[in-house]
Structure 1
Amino acid sequence: MTGRVLVARHGETMLNVLARVQGWCDSPLTERGRAEAAALGVSVGAAGSVGAVFCADSGRHRETAALAMPGVPARADARWRELAFGAYEGALSARLWNDLRRAYGPADGGGVLEALVALPDLADHGALPVESAATLRARAREAFEIAAAEAPVHDVLVVTSGLTMLALLAELDVDASRFDGGVHNGAHVVITRRSGGWRVE
Protein backbone atom coordinates (compact mmCIF):
# COMPACT_ATOMS: atom_id res chain seq x y z
CA MET A 1 0.00 0.00 0.00
CA THR A 2 1.46 3.33 -1.02
CA GLY A 3 -1.47 5.47 0.11
CA ARG A 4 -3.03 5.79 3.52
CA VAL A 5 -6.49 5.71 5.07
CA LEU A 6 -7.22 8.80 7.15
CA VAL A 7 -10.16 8.16 9.47
CA ALA A 8 -11.76 11.25 11.03
CA ARG A 9 -14.53 12.13 13.43
CA HIS A 10 -17.18 14.58 12.20
CA GLY A 11 -17.16 18.21 13.30
CA GLU A 12 -19.03 19.48 16.35
CA THR A 13 -22.83 19.26 16.11
CA MET A 14 -25.74 20.89 17.88
CA LEU A 15 -26.34 17.69 19.89
CA ASN A 16 -22.66 17.70 20.92
CA VAL A 17 -23.14 21.23 22.28
CA LEU A 18 -26.32 20.18 24.08
CA ALA A 19 -24.41 17.22 25.57
CA ARG A 20 -26.86 14.68 24.17
CA VAL A 21 -26.18 11.19 22.88
CA GLN A 22 -26.15 11.21 19.10
CA GLY A 23 -25.75 7.68 17.74
CA TRP A 24 -28.09 7.27 14.80
CA CYS A 25 -29.81 10.58 15.63
CA ASP A 26 -28.53 13.48 13.64
CA SER A 27 -28.05 17.21 13.96
CA PRO A 28 -26.31 19.85 11.86
CA LEU A 29 -22.77 21.04 12.40
CA THR A 30 -22.32 24.15 14.51
CA GLU A 31 -20.23 27.09 13.30
CA ARG A 32 -17.33 25.58 15.24
CA GLY A 33 -18.03 22.19 13.66
CA ARG A 34 -17.87 23.69 10.18
CA ALA A 35 -14.54 25.30 11.08
CA GLU A 36 -13.28 21.93 12.38
CA ALA A 37 -14.31 20.29 9.11
CA ALA A 38 -12.48 22.93 7.08
CA ALA A 39 -9.40 22.55 9.30
CA LEU A 40 -9.56 18.78 8.77
CA GLY A 41 -9.39 19.39 5.04
CA VAL A 42 -6.34 21.64 5.43
CA SER A 43 -4.66 19.06 7.68
CA VAL A 44 -5.21 16.02 5.46
CA GLY A 45 -4.65 18.02 2.30
CA ALA A 46 -1.28 19.19 3.57
CA ALA A 47 -0.30 15.62 4.47
CA GLY A 48 -0.85 14.13 1.03
CA SER A 49 -3.17 13.68 -1.91
CA VAL A 50 -6.70 12.58 -0.98
CA GLY A 51 -8.30 11.00 -4.03
CA ALA A 52 -11.35 9.32 -2.45
CA VAL A 53 -13.69 10.23 0.40
CA PHE A 54 -16.06 7.93 2.28
CA CYS A 55 -18.46 8.91 5.06
CA ALA A 56 -21.38 7.69 7.12
CA ASP A 57 -24.78 8.46 5.65
CA SER A 58 -25.87 10.97 8.33
CA GLY A 59 -25.98 14.69 7.67
CA ARG A 60 -23.16 15.55 10.08
CA HIS A 61 -20.82 13.13 8.31
CA ARG A 62 -21.77 14.26 4.81
CA GLU A 63 -21.40 17.93 5.76
CA THR A 64 -17.99 17.35 7.36
CA ALA A 65 -16.78 15.44 4.30
CA ALA A 66 -18.05 18.12 1.90
CA LEU A 67 -16.39 20.94 3.84
CA ALA A 68 -13.13 19.03 4.31
CA MET A 69 -12.78 17.92 0.69
CA PRO A 70 -15.09 20.07 -1.49
CA GLY A 71 -13.49 18.85 -4.70
CA VAL A 72 -13.92 15.12 -4.00
CA PRO A 73 -17.49 13.74 -3.85
CA ALA A 74 -18.00 11.61 -0.75
CA ARG A 75 -19.43 8.10 -0.97
CA ALA A 76 -21.91 7.62 1.88
CA ASP A 77 -22.04 4.21 3.55
CA ALA A 78 -24.30 3.31 6.51
CA ARG A 79 -21.61 0.98 7.83
CA TRP A 80 -19.64 4.07 8.95
CA ARG A 81 -22.49 5.16 11.29
CA GLU A 82 -22.03 5.60 15.03
CA LEU A 83 -23.17 2.86 17.41
CA ALA A 84 -26.97 2.65 17.77
CA PHE A 85 -27.61 3.61 21.41
CA GLY A 86 -31.14 2.23 21.77
CA ALA A 87 -33.05 3.99 24.57
CA TYR A 88 -30.21 6.46 25.08
CA GLU A 89 -30.57 7.97 21.59
CA GLY A 90 -31.03 11.71 22.11
CA ALA A 91 -30.74 11.41 25.92
CA LEU A 92 -28.45 13.58 27.99
CA SER A 93 -24.92 12.19 27.75
CA ALA A 94 -24.50 12.52 31.53
CA ARG A 95 -27.29 9.99 32.05
CA LEU A 96 -25.58 7.43 29.82
CA TRP A 97 -22.12 7.86 31.37
CA ASN A 98 -23.49 7.95 34.93
CA ASP A 99 -25.36 4.70 34.28
CA LEU A 100 -22.19 3.19 32.84
CA ARG A 101 -20.09 4.23 35.82
CA ARG A 102 -22.71 2.98 38.27
CA ALA A 103 -22.88 -0.40 36.57
CA TYR A 104 -19.26 -0.99 35.56
CA GLY A 105 -16.97 1.68 36.96
CA PRO A 106 -14.68 3.62 34.61
CA ALA A 107 -14.57 2.24 31.06
CA ASP A 108 -11.60 2.82 28.78
CA GLY A 109 -11.64 3.30 25.01
CA GLY A 110 -11.88 -0.43 24.32
CA GLY A 111 -14.12 -1.55 27.18
CA VAL A 112 -16.76 1.14 26.70
CA LEU A 113 -18.41 -0.72 23.80
CA GLU A 114 -18.90 -3.90 25.80
CA ALA A 115 -20.15 -1.91 28.77
CA LEU A 116 -22.64 0.02 26.64
CA VAL A 117 -24.35 -3.00 25.15
CA ALA A 118 -24.75 -4.62 28.57
CA LEU A 119 -26.86 -1.78 29.99
CA PRO A 120 -30.48 -2.99 30.36
CA ASP A 121 -32.03 0.24 29.10
CA LEU A 122 -30.16 -0.16 25.84
CA ALA A 123 -31.03 -3.80 25.32
CA ASP A 124 -34.73 -3.33 26.20
CA HIS A 125 -35.47 -0.62 23.63
CA GLY A 126 -37.70 -2.20 20.98
CA ALA A 127 -37.76 0.54 18.32
CA LEU A 128 -33.98 0.81 17.97
CA PRO A 129 -32.09 -1.96 19.77
CA VAL A 130 -28.49 -1.24 20.64
CA GLU A 131 -25.87 -2.86 18.46
CA SER A 132 -23.40 -5.28 19.92
CA ALA A 133 -19.74 -4.31 19.94
CA ALA A 134 -19.12 -7.24 17.58
CA THR A 135 -21.67 -5.91 15.08
CA LEU A 136 -20.17 -2.42 15.14
CA ARG A 137 -16.66 -3.80 14.74
CA ALA A 138 -17.69 -6.05 11.85
CA ARG A 139 -19.43 -3.33 9.86
CA ALA A 140 -16.58 -0.89 10.49
CA ARG A 141 -14.12 -3.51 9.24
CA GLU A 142 -16.18 -4.16 6.10
CA ALA A 143 -16.37 -0.44 5.32
CA PHE A 144 -12.66 -0.02 6.04
CA GLU A 145 -11.69 -2.79 3.60
CA ILE A 146 -13.61 -1.02 0.84
CA ALA A 147 -11.82 2.26 1.59
CA ALA A 148 -8.42 0.58 2.00
CA ALA A 149 -8.77 -1.06 -1.41
CA GLU A 150 -8.30 2.40 -2.95
CA ALA A 151 -5.30 3.34 -0.80
CA PRO A 152 -2.66 1.89 -3.15
CA VAL A 153 -3.77 4.53 -5.68
CA HIS A 154 -4.12 7.58 -3.42
CA ASP A 155 -4.85 8.62 0.15
CA VAL A 156 -8.41 8.00 1.31
CA LEU A 157 -10.37 10.10 3.82
CA VAL A 158 -13.15 8.52 5.89
CA VAL A 159 -15.52 10.63 8.02
CA THR A 160 -17.23 8.67 10.78
CA SER A 161 -17.93 8.95 14.53
CA GLY A 162 -15.81 8.48 17.65
CA LEU A 163 -16.96 5.06 18.84
CA THR A 164 -16.87 3.73 15.30
CA MET A 165 -13.25 4.84 15.08
CA LEU A 166 -12.47 3.05 18.36
CA ALA A 167 -14.28 -0.08 17.16
CA LEU A 168 -12.28 -0.06 13.93
CA LEU A 169 -8.97 0.30 15.77
CA ALA A 170 -9.93 -2.59 18.05
CA GLU A 171 -10.86 -4.70 15.03
CA LEU A 172 -7.50 -3.90 13.39
CA ASP A 173 -5.78 -4.85 16.66
CA VAL A 174 -4.35 -1.35 17.04
CA ASP A 175 -3.69 0.08 20.49
CA ALA A 176 -6.41 2.67 21.15
CA SER A 177 -5.31 3.62 24.68
CA ARG A 178 -4.37 7.13 23.54
CA PHE A 179 -8.10 7.74 23.00
CA ASP A 180 -9.26 6.77 26.50
CA GLY A 181 -10.50 10.33 26.89
CA GLY A 182 -12.52 10.03 23.66
CA VAL A 183 -11.95 11.21 20.10
CA HIS A 184 -12.26 14.96 19.60
CA ASN A 185 -14.45 16.43 16.87
CA GLY A 186 -12.49 16.88 13.67
CA ALA A 187 -9.61 14.68 14.87
CA HIS A 188 -8.22 12.02 12.58
CA VAL A 189 -5.88 9.05 12.62
CA VAL A 190 -3.67 7.84 9.76
CA ILE A 191 -3.78 4.09 9.19
CA THR A 192 -1.13 2.36 7.09
CA ARG A 193 -0.32 -1.26 6.37
CA ARG A 194 2.94 -2.47 7.90
CA SER A 195 4.38 -6.01 7.79
CA GLY A 196 1.04 -7.67 7.10
CA GLY A 197 -0.84 -5.70 9.76
CA TRP A 198 -2.15 -2.21 10.35
CA ARG A 199 -0.52 0.66 12.16
CA VAL A 200 -1.72 4.08 13.30
CA GLU A 201 0.75 6.88 12.62
Structure 2
Amino acid sequence: MSARIHFVRHAETLFNVNGMLQGWCDAPLTERGEGQVAALGERMRDVPLAAAFMSDLTRTRTTMAGALAGHPHLVPTPMRELREWHFGGWEGQPNASLWNPVFAEHGSVYAPGTFASITEDGFDTVLDAIHRSDPTGRADSAADVRTRVDAALETVVAAAQLAAREDTGDVLVVTHGSVLGSILHTLVPATRPRTGFPNCGIVTVTWTEGQAIAGEIDASCA
Protein backbone atom coordinates (compact mmCIF):
# COMPACT_ATOMS: atom_id res chain seq x y z
CA MET A 1 0.00 0.00 0.00
CA SER A 2 1.27 3.51 -0.82
CA ALA A 3 2.20 5.93 1.94
CA ARG A 4 0.48 9.31 1.74
CA ILE A 5 0.98 12.64 3.51
CA HIS A 6 -1.48 15.49 3.06
CA PHE A 7 0.28 18.83 3.59
CA VAL A 8 -1.98 21.83 4.33
CA ARG A 9 -1.21 25.51 4.65
CA HIS A 10 -3.00 27.20 7.57
CA ALA A 11 -6.21 29.20 7.07
CA GLU A 12 -6.26 32.90 6.23
CA THR A 13 -5.17 35.32 8.98
CA LEU A 14 -5.34 39.07 9.48
CA PHE A 15 -1.64 39.35 8.58
CA ASN A 16 -2.32 37.57 5.28
CA VAL A 17 -5.09 40.02 4.41
CA ASN A 18 -3.00 43.04 5.41
CA GLY A 19 0.04 41.91 3.41
CA MET A 20 2.33 41.61 6.43
CA LEU A 21 5.24 39.25 7.06
CA GLN A 22 4.02 36.73 9.60
CA GLY A 23 6.77 34.18 10.22
CA TRP A 24 6.74 33.13 13.86
CA CYS A 25 4.23 35.84 14.81
CA ASP A 26 0.55 35.01 15.11
CA ALA A 27 -2.60 36.77 14.03
CA PRO A 28 -6.24 35.72 14.40
CA LEU A 29 -8.04 33.95 11.59
CA THR A 30 -10.31 36.11 9.48
CA GLU A 31 -13.96 35.28 8.92
CA ARG A 32 -12.94 33.81 5.59
CA GLY A 33 -10.25 31.80 7.36
CA GLU A 34 -12.82 30.33 9.72
CA GLY A 35 -14.88 29.30 6.69
CA GLN A 36 -11.80 27.67 5.16
CA VAL A 37 -11.25 25.68 8.34
CA ALA A 38 -14.84 24.42 8.26
CA ALA A 39 -14.47 23.42 4.60
CA LEU A 40 -11.20 21.65 5.37
CA GLY A 41 -12.92 19.63 8.08
CA GLU A 42 -15.52 18.45 5.58
CA ARG A 43 -12.85 17.74 2.97
CA MET A 44 -10.88 15.54 5.39
CA ARG A 45 -13.88 13.87 7.07
CA ASP A 46 -13.83 10.75 4.89
CA VAL A 47 -10.03 10.54 4.52
CA PRO A 48 -8.65 7.73 6.71
CA LEU A 49 -6.02 9.27 8.99
CA ALA A 50 -3.52 7.45 11.18
CA ALA A 51 -1.55 10.45 12.49
CA ALA A 52 -1.49 14.24 12.40
CA PHE A 53 1.31 16.76 12.89
CA MET A 54 1.23 20.55 13.00
CA SER A 55 3.38 23.58 13.60
CA ASP A 56 3.10 24.69 17.22
CA LEU A 57 1.91 28.21 16.28
CA THR A 58 -1.68 29.23 17.00
CA ARG A 59 -2.90 29.58 13.42
CA THR A 60 -1.84 26.03 12.55
CA ARG A 61 -3.30 24.62 15.76
CA THR A 62 -6.63 26.28 14.98
CA THR A 63 -6.57 25.03 11.41
CA MET A 64 -5.76 21.48 12.54
CA ALA A 65 -8.60 21.51 15.07
CA GLY A 66 -11.04 22.15 12.23
CA ALA A 67 -9.36 19.66 9.91
CA LEU A 68 -9.87 16.90 12.47
CA ALA A 69 -13.54 17.68 13.14
CA GLY A 70 -14.43 14.30 11.66
CA HIS A 71 -11.59 12.50 13.47
CA PRO A 72 -12.19 13.20 17.19
CA HIS A 73 -10.08 10.17 18.19
CA LEU A 74 -6.92 11.62 16.65
CA VAL A 75 -4.63 13.79 18.80
CA PRO A 76 -2.28 15.90 16.64
CA THR A 77 1.38 16.34 17.55
CA PRO A 78 2.65 19.95 17.68
CA MET A 79 6.16 20.41 16.26
CA ARG A 80 8.34 23.49 16.48
CA GLU A 81 10.23 22.09 13.49
CA LEU A 82 7.18 22.70 11.27
CA ARG A 83 7.15 26.46 11.92
CA GLU A 84 7.25 29.01 9.12
CA TRP A 85 10.51 30.59 8.01
CA HIS A 86 11.60 33.03 10.73
CA PHE A 87 11.87 36.54 9.25
CA GLY A 88 13.55 38.06 12.30
CA GLY A 89 13.24 41.84 12.52
CA TRP A 90 11.13 41.89 9.34
CA GLU A 91 8.19 40.17 11.02
CA GLY A 92 5.11 42.36 11.27
CA GLN A 93 6.43 44.60 8.48
CA PRO A 94 4.77 45.02 5.04
CA ASN A 95 5.71 42.22 2.64
CA ALA A 96 7.32 44.63 0.16
CA SER A 97 9.76 46.00 2.76
CA LEU A 98 11.62 42.69 2.68
CA TRP A 99 10.80 41.27 -0.72
CA ASN A 100 11.70 44.37 -2.76
CA PRO A 101 15.42 44.21 -1.84
CA VAL A 102 15.52 40.38 -1.92
CA PHE A 103 14.02 40.30 -5.43
CA ALA A 104 16.37 43.07 -6.53
CA GLU A 105 19.35 41.05 -5.30
CA HIS A 106 18.10 38.22 -7.52
CA GLY A 107 17.71 40.51 -10.54
CA SER A 108 13.92 40.54 -10.40
CA VAL A 109 11.05 42.81 -9.36
CA TYR A 110 8.73 41.81 -6.53
CA ALA A 111 5.04 41.28 -7.10
CA PRO A 112 2.70 38.92 -5.22
CA GLY A 113 2.67 35.48 -6.80
CA THR A 114 6.04 35.80 -8.55
CA PHE A 115 8.28 33.82 -6.19
CA ALA A 116 8.94 31.19 -8.84
CA SER A 117 11.11 33.79 -10.59
CA ILE A 118 13.69 33.77 -7.77
CA THR A 119 13.46 30.14 -6.68
CA GLU A 120 14.50 28.33 -9.85
CA ASP A 121 17.37 26.67 -7.96
CA GLY A 122 15.63 26.26 -4.61
CA PHE A 123 15.17 28.51 -1.62
CA ASP A 124 18.70 28.66 -0.19
CA THR A 125 19.80 31.93 -1.81
CA VAL A 126 16.50 33.59 -0.85
CA LEU A 127 16.76 32.48 2.78
CA ASP A 128 20.38 33.59 3.06
CA ALA A 129 19.48 36.98 1.55
CA ILE A 130 16.78 37.40 4.21
CA HIS A 131 19.24 36.39 6.92
CA ARG A 132 21.88 38.86 5.72
CA SER A 133 19.39 41.72 5.50
CA ASP A 134 18.02 41.26 9.03
CA PRO A 135 19.65 43.81 11.35
CA THR A 136 18.57 41.78 14.41
CA GLY A 137 20.37 38.66 13.17
CA ARG A 138 17.42 36.46 14.14
CA ALA A 139 16.10 35.55 10.68
CA ASP A 140 16.54 31.98 9.49
CA SER A 141 19.42 31.08 7.22
CA ALA A 142 19.13 28.32 4.63
CA ALA A 143 20.99 25.99 6.99
CA ASP A 144 18.53 26.75 9.81
CA VAL A 145 15.51 25.86 7.68
CA ARG A 146 17.18 22.77 6.22
CA THR A 147 17.97 21.44 9.70
CA ARG A 148 14.43 22.07 10.92
CA VAL A 149 12.75 20.57 7.84
CA ASP A 150 14.97 17.46 7.90
CA ALA A 151 14.12 16.86 11.56
CA ALA A 152 10.39 17.31 10.96
CA LEU A 153 10.34 15.01 7.95
CA GLU A 154 12.23 12.27 9.74
CA THR A 155 9.29 12.01 12.16
CA VAL A 156 6.47 12.62 9.68
CA VAL A 157 7.70 10.28 6.94
CA ALA A 158 8.36 7.51 9.47
CA ALA A 159 4.75 7.83 10.68
CA ALA A 160 3.46 7.65 7.10
CA GLN A 161 5.53 4.59 6.29
CA LEU A 162 4.35 2.84 9.47
CA ALA A 163 0.73 3.69 8.67
CA ALA A 164 1.18 2.28 5.16
CA ARG A 165 2.66 -0.99 6.44
CA GLU A 166 -0.15 -1.39 8.96
CA ASP A 167 -2.80 -0.12 6.51
CA THR A 168 -4.19 2.33 9.08
CA GLY A 169 -4.52 5.44 6.91
CA ASP A 170 -2.75 8.59 5.80
CA VAL A 171 -0.86 11.34 7.65
CA LEU A 172 -2.04 14.96 7.86
CA VAL A 173 0.38 17.88 8.32
CA VAL A 174 -0.69 21.50 8.83
CA THR A 175 2.12 24.00 8.35
CA HIS A 176 2.91 27.32 6.60
CA GLY A 177 3.27 28.54 3.03
CA SER A 178 7.00 29.25 2.69
CA VAL A 179 8.23 26.29 4.71
CA LEU A 180 5.83 24.08 2.74
CA GLY A 181 7.86 24.99 -0.33
CA SER A 182 11.02 23.90 1.49
CA ILE A 183 9.37 20.66 2.59
CA LEU A 184 8.17 19.71 -0.88
CA HIS A 185 11.52 20.54 -2.46
CA THR A 186 13.20 18.24 0.08
CA LEU A 187 10.77 15.36 -0.48
CA VAL A 188 10.47 15.70 -4.26
CA PRO A 189 13.63 17.45 -5.52
CA ALA A 190 12.49 17.25 -9.14
CA THR A 191 9.52 19.45 -8.27
CA ARG A 192 10.18 23.09 -9.09
CA PRO A 193 10.34 25.02 -5.82
CA ARG A 194 7.41 27.34 -5.32
CA THR A 195 5.68 29.44 -2.74
CA GLY A 196 2.30 31.11 -2.83
CA PHE A 197 0.27 28.12 -1.67
CA PRO A 198 -3.30 29.23 -0.96
CA ASN A 199 -4.59 29.26 2.58
CA CYS A 200 -5.99 25.78 3.36
CA GLY A 201 -4.53 24.52 0.07
CA ILE A 202 -3.67 20.81 0.19
CA VAL A 203 -0.71 19.08 -1.45
CA THR A 204 -0.55 15.28 -1.21
CA VAL A 205 2.75 13.44 -1.47
CA THR A 206 2.47 9.74 -2.33
CA TRP A 207 5.21 7.09 -2.22
CA THR A 208 4.82 4.50 -4.96
CA GLU A 209 7.51 1.83 -5.16
CA GLY A 210 9.74 4.02 -3.04
CA GLN A 211 9.39 7.12 -5.22
CA ALA A 212 7.77 10.26 -3.83
CA ILE A 213 5.35 12.11 -6.12
CA ALA A 214 3.74 15.46 -5.26
CA GLY A 215 0.22 16.03 -6.52
CA GLU A 216 -1.28 19.26 -7.75
CA ILE A 217 -2.51 21.83 -5.23
CA ASP A 218 -6.07 21.15 -4.10
CA ALA A 219 -7.53 24.61 -3.53
CA SER A 220 -11.10 23.45 -2.92
CA CYS A 221 -11.02 24.74 0.68
CA ALA A 222 -9.27 28.04 -0.10
Aligned equivalents of 1:200, 1:187: Cα separation in 2: 13
Identity percentage of aligned residues: 35
Cα 1:54–1:130 change in 2 (3 A) is same
Aligned equivalents of 1:12, 1:110: Cα separation in 2: 28
Runs of 5+ unmatched residues, structure 2:
109-116, 216-222
Match of 2:175 among 153, 160, 169: 160
Aligned equivalents of 1:36, 1:174: Cα separation in 2: 29
Equivalent residue of 2:213, what SS? strand
Question: TM-score when scaled to structure 1?
Answer: 0.87
Aligned equivalents of 1:36, 1:165: Cα separation in 2: 18
Return 8-17 or 163-172, whichever deviates more.
163-172
CA distances 1:29-55 after superposition (whole Å, capped 9, x unpaired) = 111112112222222334x21232110
Deviation at 1:110, TM superposition (A): 5.5
Which residue pairs with 1:69 in the alignment? 68
Runs of 5+ unmatched residues, structure 1:
none
CA distances 1:118-150 after superposition (whole Å, capped 9, x unpaired) = 24322x314xx1112232133223212312222
Return 183-192 or 103-112, whichever deviates more.
103-112
User: Is 1:34 the equivalent of 2:34?
Assistant: yes
Cα 1:145–1:181 change in 2 (3 A) is closer
Aligned equivalents of 2:19, 2:59: Cα separation in 1: 16
Which residue pairs with 1:85 in the alignment? 87
Amino acid at match of 2:209: S
Which residue pairs with 1:44 in the alignment? 44
Return 94-103 or 182-191, whichever deviates more.
94-103
Which residue pairs with 1:99 in the alignment? 101
Match of 2:133 among 121, 126, 131: 121
Amino acid at match of 1:62: R
* 1:17-28 → structure 2 map (5 Å cutoff): 17-28=17-28
Amino acid at match of 1:17: V
Amino acid at match of 2:183: L
Which residue pairs with 2:53 in the alignment? 54
Amino acid at match of 1:19: G
> Which consecutive aligned stretches of 4+ in structure 1 deviate over 6 angstroms post-superposition?
none
Query: What's the Cα RMSD here?
Result: 2.0
Deviation at 1:181, TM superposition (A): 5.7
Which residue pairs with 2:139 in the alignment? 130
CA distances 1:81-133 after superposition (whole Å, capped 9, x unpaired) = 001111211110121221222221241375445223224322x314xx11122
Equivalent residue of 2:173, what SS? strand
Aligned equivalents of 2:49, 2:88: Cα separation in 1: 35
Equivalent residue of 1:5, what SS? strand
Aligned equivalents of 2:55, 2:146: Cα separation in 1: 15
Q: How many residues align?
A: 196
Cα 1:45–1:138 change in 2 (3 A) is farther
Cα 1:191–1:50 change in 2 (3 A) is same
Cα 1:110–1:90 change in 2 (3 A) is farther
User: Is 1:183 the equivalent of 2:197?
Assistant: yes
Aligned equivalents of 1:143, 1:42: Cα separation in 2: 26
Contact (CA 8 Å) 1:110, 1:176: kept in 2 or not? no
